Amino acid sequence: MSGRCFIHRNFPGYPQDGRARAGGYHRRLDGTEIVADSLTDVTALAAELAGLRPPVLLDVRWRLTGPPGIDSYRAGHLPGARFVDLDRDLAGPPGAGGRHPQPATSRFQDAMRRAGVRDGWPVVVYDGADSMAAARAWWLLGYFGHDQVRVLDGGYQAWRAAGQPVETGSGPPGPARADGVPDAFTARPGHLPLLDAAAAAALARDGVLLDARAAERYRGEVEPVDPVGGHIPGAVSAPTAANVAADGRFLDPAALRARFAGLGAAPDPGTGARPAGVYCGSGVTAAHEVLAMRIAGLPAALYLGSWSDWVTDPARPVATGPGPGLG
């Protein structure tokens, strides 16, 4: 990247009027709206799985402090789902680009083909409940050009709560690999806006840069993973945990729009030119906040390297405390 931030110009789903194309809504059982092209719910997914075009299911359960997601998968998963390891399949090796840098195009393509992903065929990703890890798969698939990816709202917990069937063990028998077929998934990078450190710094000055981590990490009071605490100067604290309800499902689009408007991330009514970006510790929960903004109909770019990339350069400034700290 060259320090530029492509948000409103010539990016699919990020029009010049400052609103992401949400692709329509349908109703949950409780009457609230759900964005049809980004999320699905248990009822809709169960119907699709019983139909003529069942989506590929990817189980992306993962937690920063463990236990390993594969253990949860083996204990129970949606029928036919394949496990995707976030550290191995959805990130490159940790290093100068952060703890979970962008995977190499060929590596990501190979991982998705192993899981049975094909071009032009729907994919549904899920995790335990809150979509924090599933959103990373959603974003990467979208960035690499797959245009039919949704997240199961409420994840495995919602599926079980609805009394839907599950499987146990190591997964479906036989390979799922989608190689050598006309519609094998081809990773084509660049379909979603991506920030590097320079672009994130510029956005903190000239637009809105949201910090999706817990507030105490933003303030620099606690830093359990990275060597330096604090935040990018000018960034606004916006913990992504506030985008979901207690059961892990996303808030209604109207509630999310109101939240982001309060954080200054809504587009200007006159010009629509209110560029926004998101970062977190290593580009996992920030993808969740980008998804929440898409549900709200708002565009956002992702700083994939996030804080763990930012602090690799000691020359980059660090702010602490409750305010943005931009001098």
Question: What amino acid positions are annotated as catalytic residues?
Answer: 280
**What is the SS3 assignment for 240?**
helix
CB-facing half-sphere around the CA of 313: CA atoms within 13 A: 12
**What is the SS3 assignment for 149?**
strand
10 Å CB burial of residue 228 (0-12, 13-18, 19+) is middle
Start-to-end C-alpha separation, the chain = 26
Alpha helices in the chain (DSSP H): 42-49, 69-75, 86-89, 105-114, 134-143, 155-161, 197-206, 215-219, 253-262, 285-295, 306-310
d(C-alpha 38, C-alpha 25), whole Å = 10
CA angle 140, 107, 167 (to 5 degrees): 70
Cβ atoms of 3 and 194 within 8 Å: the answer is no
Residue 275 one-letter amino acid? P
d(C-alpha 294, C-alpha 292), whole Å = 5
Q: What's the CA dihedral at 78, 82, 84, 85 to 10 degrees?
A: 90
